[in-house]
A = this chain, B = another copy of it.
Amino acid sequence: MPRKINGVGIQVEDTQVCVVMVGLPARGKSYIAQRAQRYLRWLDIPAETFNVGNYRRNSAPQPTADFFDTNNPEGERKRRAAAEAAVADMLKWFANGGIVGILDATNSTKERRKWVMDEVAKAGVDVIFVESKCDNEELILANIRDVKTTSPDYKGKDPEAAALDFRNRIRNYEKAYKSINEDGDEDDLTYLKIMDVGKQVIINRIQDYLQSRIVYYLMNLRIRPRTVWLSRHGESMLNLEGRIGGDAVLSHRGEEYARKLPELVRASVGDDRPLTVWTSTLKRTISTARFLPKHYNQLQWKALDELDAGVCDGLTYQEIKDRFPEDFAARDADKYNYRYRGGESYRDVVIRLEPIIMELERSEDILIISHQAVIRCIYAYFMQKNQEDSPWLPVPLHTLIKLTTRAYGTDQEKTAANIKAVSTWRGKGSTARHEDPVPEGGI
A122 at the interface (CB under 8 A from B): no
A216-B216, A359-B11 given; A298·B203 CB < 8 A: no
A437 at the interface (CB under 8 A from B): no
Contacts of A342 in B (CB 8 A): 246-247, 313
Contacts of A156 in B (CB 8 A): none
Contact (Cβ within 8 A) A209 B362: yes
A341-B247, A355-B355 given; A363·B300 CB < 8 A: no
**What 0/1 pattern do residues 240 to 284 of A give for CB contact below 8 A with B?**
000000110000000000000000000000000000100001000
Contact (Cβ within 8 A) B202 A6: no
A212 at the interface (CB under 8 A from B): yes
Contacts of A201 in B (CB 8 A): 202-204
Give A151 to B7 CA distance when docked, in angstroms: 46
Q: Which residue of B lies closest to A301 (CB)?
A: B9
Contact (Cβ within 8 A) A363 B220: no
A348 at the interface (CB under 8 A from B): yes
Contacts of A219 in B (CB 8 A): 203
Q: Which residue of B lies closest to A201 (CB)?
A: B203
A200-B202, A201-B202, A203-B219 given; A300·B6 CB < 8 A: yes
Contact (Cβ within 8 A) A200 B200: no
A321 at the interface (CB under 8 A from B): no
Q: Which residue of B lies closest to A203 (CB)?
A: B201
A13 at the interface (CB under 8 A from B): yes
Contact (Cβ within 8 A) B203 A6: no
Contacts of A301 in B (CB 8 A): 9
A142 at the interface (CB under 8 A from B): no
A26 at the interface (CB under 8 A from B): no
**What 0/1 pattern do residues 217 to 241 of A give for CB contact below 8 A with B?**
0011000000000000000000000
Contacts of A386 in B (CB 8 A): none
A-to-B contact residues, CB < 8 Å = 6-9, 11, 13, 199-205, 209, 212, 216, 219-220, 246-247, 276, 281, 297-303, 308, 313, 339, 341-342, 344, 348, 351-352, 354-355, 359, 362-363
Question: Could you write out 12 A-B pairs with CB less than 8 Å apart?
Answer: A6-B300, A7-B281, A9-B301, A9-B303, A9-B355, A11-B299, A13-B276, A200-B203, A202-B202, A209-B359, A303-B351, A354-B355
4 closest pairs, A vs B, by CB?
A201-B203, A7-B300, A9-B301, A200-B204
